[in-house]
Amino acid sequence: MDLTGIFGDYTAFAPIIILLIGALILPAVQFVGKRRTATWAVALVFAIVSLIVNAIMLTDGYTGEALGLYEYDAYSGLMILLFQIVLFLAVLVSNASTETTRLHVGAFYALMTGATVGMMFVAGSTDLLTIFVGVELTSISSYAMVTMKRKDPRAAEAGVKYVIIGGMSTALTIYGISMLYGLTGTTEIAAIAETTQLTGMNWMFAIAIVAMVAGYGFKIAAVPFHMWAPDVYEGAASPVSMFLATGSKKMGLSVFFQIFLVMFVAGTAVSQIAGEEVQYLFAIIAAFTMTVGNIVAIAQNNIKRMLAYSSIAQAGYILIVMAVMSEYALSAGLFHMFTHVFMKGGAFLIVGALICAGIGEKISDYKGLAKRAPFLAVAMMLFLFSLAGIPPLAGFTSKFFLFSSAIGGVDGVTSQWVWLAFIAILNSAISLYYYARVVKAMYIEKGASTEKIKVPKIFTIAIAICVIFVIVLGVYPQLIYDFCETAAGALLGM
């Protein structure tokens, strides 16, 4: 289908424009209609239409740019698709969740859509400043979403923390960007890359890099910038937690790819990477992020906090891409981001669904769930085992790809990152411990009650979608992996 007939010169912007319109009219819809279900339906329609438009563009292999600051290609299309899936899942359940229905629905959906617009904008940016603007749009929307559960003190605490930390990270980022501008006279990443790849590192450059890594490190909750994440995910409403853990975090990772991978490896034919120091820096961050995330998760009794730490660990796995810096690693990382959306998103959705049914957030509240809600228990088990990397689920396949990228021999990478792969494998084993705890509570331990649990239908549908993808991507990874490969090629221009 030719979309240029409809969108003209702004075709590259098409998915964004649709959602932007949505974000702008949603408060009005609520104001006029005063029906939360109607507002929800409108939000959902916008999300789906945007998703379809993007899917068409992606499968058609559309490339183009708009206004000279935004580029749509296989990479940005794929990332946008990911954000749209997250938005779709989050909006889908928001009307059924008791945590979100009492909020200002118009504003809530507008914020969520707006945050997604920010992410999508980031995905297509080729300039440090546009990336910065996109990230801020997402962040500010997220702060508001987290604090919307106003009566809950945990939400308030989480929101305040989030704002303060977010502000600090923004400051650091802009500091780094301005230093880079001072050094190179440009904010365009490709232009910076030319200088970088020629000269490698120097001290000023290193300071700029550290500032930016720290700034965006907050967004992905990399250790040592992770401590806000458990509080925020615990405090926010479950659909919002899910949105942040799967969407917002992926934006942060995408920023890393778009800035640093492009800066150091894009377009170079040589396998020698100019910034080897940066590779090691990321390798160490990755190792610590996954280890701390997994170890602390063991000590959690609240399932949302546990999932939050597990998200931190997952980001650590994906950071392997930043250490290895190869096209193969990037495609594996992108693939893992997709599988993570379904498995982690699904797990958060189940937590949300159970909250609606009056089940608490403690792991001990899940005792005997296998009897009370067989479908949810099976789904949860699949998600958790997928997160732990047990075959033949999606998490295993994507981890297998990701970790194998760090092993020498594949794609001409030297074997210097084997240790990182080993740490990652060891971490997967540790992670099984806390995932198994939940499964044990659900399946093996006796619950206080054996009464059947009823959850809203719409939750069941959303969870079922995730289950299907967790299984399908496990046995047939090529479904999305091919797109990931093309996207990696498009970003790195190899």
**Shortest distance, position 14 Cβ to other proteins, whole Å:** 31
Residue 154 found at the interface with other proteins (CB under 8 A): yes
- Select the residue interacting with other proteins from 48, 56, 436, 472 (CB under 8 A): 436
Radius of gyration of the chain (CA): 21
**Shortest distance, position 146 Cβ to other proteins, whole Å:** 12
3-state secondary structure (DSSP) of residue 155: helix
Query: Alpha-carbon dihedral of residues 310, 346, 243, 433, nearest 10 degrees?
Result: -10
- Select the residue interacting with other proteins from 4, 271, 364, 415 (CB under 8 A): 415
Residue 471 found at the interface with other proteins (CB under 8 A): no
Q: String of b and e for 325-361 (b: at least 16 CB within 10 Å)? A: bbbbbbbbbbbbbbbbbbbbbbbbbbbbbbbbbebeb
Residue 419 found at the interface with other proteins (CB under 8 A): no
**Shortest distance, position 22 Cβ to other proteins, whole Å:** 30
Residue 67 found at the interface with other proteins (CB under 8 A): no
- Distance from C-alpha of 45 to C-alpha of 50, rounded to nearest angstrom: 8
Residue 201 found at the interface with other proteins (CB under 8 A): yes
- CB 466, CB 89: distance < 8 Å: yes
Q: Segment near other proteins (CB under 8 A), from 39-47, 57-65, 148-156, 454-462?
A: 148-156
Residue 273 found at the interface with other proteins (CB under 8 A): no
Residue 28 found at the interface with other proteins (CB under 8 A): no
Residue 292 found at the interface with other proteins (CB under 8 A): yes
| Distances in whole angstroms, Cα of residue 494 to Cα of each of 80, 271, 396, 405 | 21, 12, 27, 17
DSSP one-letter string for 433-478 = HHHHHHHIIIIISPPS--PPP---HHHHHHHHHHHHHHHHHHH-TH
Residue 494 found at the interface with other proteins (CB under 8 A): no
Q: Which CB atom, from 21 or from 201, has the smaller least distance to other proteins?
A: 201
- Select the residue interacting with other proteins from 83, 328, 348, 483 (CB under 8 A): 328
3-state secondary structure (DSSP) of residue 132: helix
**Shortest distance, position 106 Cβ to other proteins, whole Å:** 23
**Shortest distance, position 370 Cβ to other proteins, whole Å:** 9
Residue 277 found at the interface with other proteins (CB under 8 A): yes
Residue 118 found at the interface with other proteins (CB under 8 A): no
- Select the residue interacting with other proteins from 15, 114, 124, 159 (CB under 8 A): 159
**Shortest distance, position 403 Cβ to other proteins, whole Å:** 6
Binding positions for other proteins, 329-388, rule CB under 8 A: 331-332, 385
- CB 79, CB 491: distance < 8 Å: no
Q: Which CB atom, from 31 or from 422, has the smaller least distance to other proteins?
A: 422
**Shortest distance, position 234 Cβ to other proteins, whole Å:** 11
- Select the residue interacting with other proteins from 428, 438, 465, 466 (CB under 8 A): 428
- Name the residue among 28, 27, 23 with its Cα closest to residue 46: 23
Residue 217 found at the interface with other proteins (CB under 8 A): yes
Residue 173 found at the interface with other proteins (CB under 8 A): no
**Shortest distance, position 40 Cβ to other proteins, whole Å:** 28
DSSP one-letter string for 177-219 = HHHHHHHHS--BHHHHHHHHHHH---HHHHHHHHHHHHHHHHH
The separation between CA 277 and the C-alpha centre of its own chain, rounded to angstroms, equals 26
- CB 170, CB 136: distance < 8 Å: yes
SS (H, E, C) 72-123: ECHHHHHHHHHHHHHHHHHHHHHCCCCCCCCCCHHHHHHHHHHHHHHHHHHH
Residue 230 found at the interface with other proteins (CB under 8 A): yes
**Shortest distance, position 246 Cβ to other proteins, whole Å:** 22
- CB 275, CB 336: distance < 8 Å: no
Residue 409 found at the interface with other proteins (CB under 8 A): yes
- Select the residue interacting with other proteins from 141, 339, 405, 460 (CB under 8 A): 405
- Name the residue among 433, 204, 419, 194 with its Cα closest to residue 306: 433
Residue 183 found at the interface with other proteins (CB under 8 A): no
